[in-house]
Amino acid sequence: MRELKEKILKEGRVLSDTVLKVDSFLNHQVDPQFALKMGKELAGRFAGAGVTKVLTVEASGIAVALTTGLVLNVPVIFAKKKKAFTQEPGSYYSNIFSFTKREMVGIYVNKKFITRADRVLIVDDFLAQGEALRGMVGIIEQAGATLVGVGVVIEKVFQGGGKALREKGVRIEALAPVASLAGGKVKFINGLN
C-alpha cells in the first residue's frame, strides 16, 4: 500500500534496528480516515475468504480491525489482556510475550464470541516476532474455528515472525512489509510499490 509506506517514511521514527514508531497515526493517535483506507485494503484482500469474524488483541490493532470488520460487515472481537471480574466463566486463553512491555501477558476471548462455525481473520498493527499472532491463532484453534488468514499493517519481515506462520500454511497479507530498519532507515520489500 503505497500511501501507507509514504506515511511511514514521513511520520514514522526509527528508534533502533528493530523498533519503528508510528504513534502519530496508528497506535497512539489514530487517523480515522487513514485507518478506514487500511481497513478497506485488508478487507479487499480477504473479500472472497468467507470471513465471519475479525479478531485482534487490545489495543493497537483495534482501529484497523474495526475498519476491516466494518467493510466486511462482520463483528470484531478483541482479545483482552486482563481478565475482568465481570468476565463470564469460559474463556479461551493464551499466554504471549509482549516485547514492547517486556513481560508475559495473558489474552482472553469469551467462548461465546468465537465458535466452531466461524471463519476468522486476524488483523493487527504489527507483525514482528509473531507472539501476538501465535496467541490469537491458539485461541482460534481452541474454538475449533477456521483461520482464514492474517492481515497486518506493518510486517517487520526481518524479525521472522511471519516466516513460521507461513510455513504452517497461514496466509499473511502485510500492507507495508519492512525489510530493514538498519541505520535508522526504513527499507521496504519491493520499494514503495
Q: Is residue 98 part of a domain?
A: yes
Name the residue range of residue 163's domain.
2-188
Distance of CA 56 to the CA centre of its chain: 6
Q: Is residue 139 part of a domain?
A: yes
Q: Is residue 193 part of a domain?
A: no
Q: What is the pLDDT of residues 99-117, one digit of tens each?
A: 666 778 888 999 999 999 9
What pLDDT shows up at residue 101?
67
Alpha helices in the chain (DSSP H): 2-11, 32-45, 62-72, 131-143, 161-167
CATH code of 10's domain:
3.40.50.2020
Q: Is residue 143 part of a domain?
A: yes
What pLDDT shows up at residue 139?
95
pLDDT level of residue 190 (50, 70, 90 thresholds): confident
End-to-end alpha carbon distance in the chain: 7
What pLDDT shows up at residue 95?
87
Q: What is the pLDDT of residues 34-88, one digit of tens each?
A: 999 999 999 999 999 999 999 999 888 999 999 999 999 999 999 988 766 666 6
Percentage of the chain with pLDDT > 70? Answer: 94
Q: How many domains does the chain have?
A: 1
What pLDDT shows up at residue 27?
84
